[in-house]
Amino acid sequence: MFFVSYFASHINDMELENDPRISEFLLLGLSEEQDLQPFLFVLFLSMYLITILGNQLIILAISSDSHLPMYFFLTSLSFVDICFTFTSIIKMLWNIETQIQVITYEGCLMQNFFILFVGLDNFLLTVMAYDCFMAICHPLHYMVLMNPQLCGLLILVSWTISILHSLLESLVVLRLSFCTVLEIPHFFSELNQMIQLACYDTFLNNLVMYFAALLLGGGPLSGILYSYFKILSSIYQTSSTKWKYKAFSTCATYFSVVSLFCCWSLGVYLSSADTQSFHSSAVASVMYIVVIPMLKPFIYSLRNKDINEALNVFSG
C-alpha cells in the first residue's frame, strides 16, 4: 500500500515535470581517447565472440548427450550468459565503430532488461549450488529428488521472479524526469546511473532498487553459502579420499564461478553508489559483464570430465 499511495501522490507532479524534449542520453564509454577506440573495439568484439562460441558449444554439447541430465541448469546458465552480454556489449561496439555515443530513451529502457539476466544469473547459480548439494550430500536419492519436473519448476520460478523484478525496475524509471546533464559515464545505461541523472524525486526508485538488491541478492547468496557449507561439512565427515577429491573438485568448479560473479557484481554495485567512482565502476563492470561470462565455459569444461567428453563427441 505504501508503494501505491506514494506513486499515486506523485503521478500528477510527474506529468507536469517530465520534459518531452528529453529523448536521448550520451554514453561516455570506457575511454574518450580516440587512439584507444580501435583497440577497445577489437578487444571487446573478440571477447564477445569467444563468449558466444564457448557458451553455444556448452549448450550443444550437453543437449546432444542424453547422459548428462544433471547439467540441465548449466545449459540454462549458458543461454542467460549469451543474452547477458548481448544486452550491453552490442551497443558499446556499435558506438565505438560509428563514433556515435547517443542512446535513445527507449534504448535505455530496453537495456534495463539487463537486470533480468543479472537476476537469472543469481538464481541459476543458487539452483546449481542446490543441485550440487543434493548430488554430494544425497547421492543415492539424487536422481529421484532432482527429477525433470523439479528442475523445470526451479527454472520457471527463476524466470518469473526475474521478469517481475526487471519490469518493476523499468516501471519506476518511467516516472522520472531528467535534468539537462544526460551524460552516462558507462558503456551501457546502468539503472543506478540513470537514477542519479533524474531531477525528480528518486526516493521510490532507490527504495525499490535497494530492497530488490537485499531480497534478490541477499537471498540467493544466503542459499549459495548454506549449500556450500553443507557440502564442505559432508566432505569433511567422509573417510573416502577418492570421494573427497571428486566431490571437492566438483564443488570447487561451481564455487569459483560463484565467487567471481558475486564478488565482482557486489563490488561494482556498492561502488556505483558513489557518484565520484562512476568511471571506475564502468571499468570494473567489464569483469562481470564480459570477462566472467567468457571464462565460465572454460572453467566448466576444463574441470569437468563429463563435459570434456561431451565436447569431444560433439566436435569429433
240 is in which domain, residue-wise? 2-304
Classify residue 83: in a domain, yes or no: yes
In this prediction, residue 185 has a pLDDT band, given cuts at 50, 70 and 90, of: confident
Predicted local confidence at residue 2, as pLDDT:
42
In this prediction, residue 7 has a pLDDT band, given cuts at 50, 70 and 90, of: very low
Predicted local confidence at residue 304, as pLDDT:
63
Pairing verdict, β 24-27 and 183-184: parallel
Classify residue 267: in a domain, yes or no: yes
Classify residue 231: in a domain, yes or no: yes
Q: 275 in helix, strand or coil?
A: helix
Q: 47 in helix, strand or coil?
A: helix
CATH number at residue 132: 1.20.1070.10
Tally the domains of the chain: 1
Contact present, 80 and 126 (Cβ < 8 Å): no
Q: What is the mean pLDDT of the chain?
A: 76
Classify residue 71: in a domain, yes or no: yes
Say which DSSP state 69 is in: G
What's the mean pLDDT in 272-276? 51
Query: Does 73 score more than 60 pLDDT?
Result: yes
pLDDT tens digit string along 86-103? 888 888 888 888 888 888
CA distance 241 to 133: 19
Classify residue 126: in a domain, yes or no: yes
**Picking from 125-139, 233-247, 283-297, which range would have the lowest pLDDT averaged per residue?**
233-247
What's the mean pLDDT in 218-247? 80
Q: What are phi and psi of 147, to 5 degrees?
A: -80, 165
pTM of the model: 0.80
Q: Where are the alpha helices (DSSP H) in the chain?
A: 2-17, 37-63, 72-98, 105-111, 114-137, 142-145, 148-174, 191-196, 203-212, 218-237, 241-271, 278-286, 292-302, 305-315
Predicted local confidence at residue 303, as pLDDT:
58
Classify residue 309: in a domain, yes or no: no
Classify residue 315: in a domain, yes or no: no
In this prediction, residue 160 has a pLDDT band, given cuts at 50, 70 and 90, of: very high
Residue keyed to cell 562512476: 278
What's the mean pLDDT in 171-185? 76
What percent of the chain has a predicted confidence (pLDDT) above 70? 78
Query: Does 280 score more than 70 pLDDT?
Result: no
Classify residue 157: in a domain, yes or no: yes
